[in-house]
Amino acid sequence: PARPSGAALNIDNVTFCYPAHPEPALRNLTLDIGAGEHVALLGRTGCGKSTLLQLLTRAYDPQAGSIRLNGAALTSFDETTLRAAVSVVPQRVHLFSATLRDNLLLACPDAGDDALCSALTRVGLETLLDEEGLNAWLGEGGRQLSGGEMRRLAIARALLHDAPVLLLDEPTEGLDAQTENQILSLLHNVCAGKTLLMVTHRLRGLATFDRIAIMDRGEIVEQGSHAAL
Ligand code: ATP
Ligand code: MG
């Protein structure tokens, strides 16, 4: 049974325009996500999915409407508290020419080696430790990672925060069907009890989510379980 470690997310009538861009990227968008719920956010390119994630991390604030995390306005959190509460796996994962340890520590500078190894094991990357352990050199002059391994590394980074809310922007883009399925089941597994919002273009694997929300031109136009939609 999942431990109740997630946090509720309430997005209420949010409108957002980028500076110097007259068309609103989000229009009166309302979406409520329960603590521990796993939601897929679907919609065509340019409909505002990544923008919504940006607002959830307060890279921007909405011009109208409100966002609450476990009942408290997002604007009431200081930066450190918000970072500890909401963790993000970005659309493009960056690998540094550095050791495996340093590639993980950038997400969580205080983590000890045990925590790093356990995060790698949870995402199925323990074989990276086989030869030189956390001292293994990655990137230029060292080991390159496949697309699927990069995604796993990004998820391991996010897990090190142990945040109650995890946001993912297309974490399976560019992966083959088998790797995509593996990443999805890994995510549901390691995030059991956490609140998960995953942006995707793909229709594959949606049945594994508690709910699917469909966006169009800055609004949620439909939502429900996979069976209901
Ligand atoms: P994709 O599926 O291609 O990633 P998306 O649904 O994530 O698309 P967004 O990136 O949120 O879409 O973009 C929503 C709208 O906002 C688009 O019209 C886009 O051109 C615009 N936009 C995005 N980022 C900026 C920015 N930094 N400045 C101005 N406009 C932007
Ligand atoms: Mg996007």
Q: Tens digits of per-residue pLDDT, 149-190?
A: 999 999 999 989 889 999 999 988 888 888 889 899 999 999
CB 199 within 8 Å of CB 170:
yes
Q: Is 190 in the pocket of ligand 1 (CB under 6 A)?
A: no
Which residue's C-alpha comes closest to atom 3 of ligand 1? 45
- The Cβ of residue 154 has, within 10 Å, a number of other Cβ atoms equal to 21
pLDDT above 90 (res 2): no
Domains, the chain, ranges and CATH?
9-92+163-224 (3.40.50.300), 96-144 (no CATH)
Radius of gyration of the chain from Cα atoms?
A: 18
Q: Residue written as tokens 């990069």?
A: 150
Q: Please tell me the number of the ligand nearest to residue 52's CA.
A: 1
- Long-range contacts of residues 218-224, Cβ cutoff 8 Å, at least 24 apart: 218/24, 218/25, 218/26, 218/27, 218/29, 218/47, 218/48, 219/26, 219/27, 219/28, 219/29, 220/29, 220/30, 220/31, 223/31
Candidates 26, 38, 23; CA nearest to 209 is 38
In angstroms, the CA 139 to CA 163 distance is 27
Q: How far apart are CA 67 and CA 57, in angstroms?
A: 10
Q: How far is the CA of 25 from the centre of ligand 2 (A)?
A: 12
Bridge partners of residue 120, in order along the sequence: none
> For residue 66, what are the contacts with CB-CB under 8 A and spacing of at least 6?
10, 12, 13, 14, 73, 74
- Per-residue pLDDT tens over the stretch 23-52: 999 999 999 999 999 999 999 999 999 999
Q: What are 117-153's pLDDT values in tens digits?
A: 999 999 999 999 999 999 999 999 899 999 889 999 9
CA of 93 relative to ligand 2 center, distance in Å: 14
Kindly tell me the sign of the dihedral angle through the C-alpha atoms of 49, 145, 106, 116: positive
Q: What is the pTM of this model?
A: 0.92
> Could you read off the pLDDT of 72-97 as tens digits, one per residue?
999 999 999 999 999 999 888 889 99
Please check the confidence at residue 54 and state whether its pLDDT lies above 50: yes
Is the CB of residue 93 less than 8 Å from the CB of residue 150?
yes
Label residue 60 exposed, middle or buried (CB < 10 Å: 0-12, 13-18, 19+): middle
96 lines ligand 1 (CB under 6 A): no
Side chain identity at 30, as an amino acid letter?
T
- Measuring CA to CA, which residue among 97, 121, 119, 96 is closest to residue 108? 119
Task: Among the bound ligands, name the one nearest to the CA of residue 49.
Answer: 1
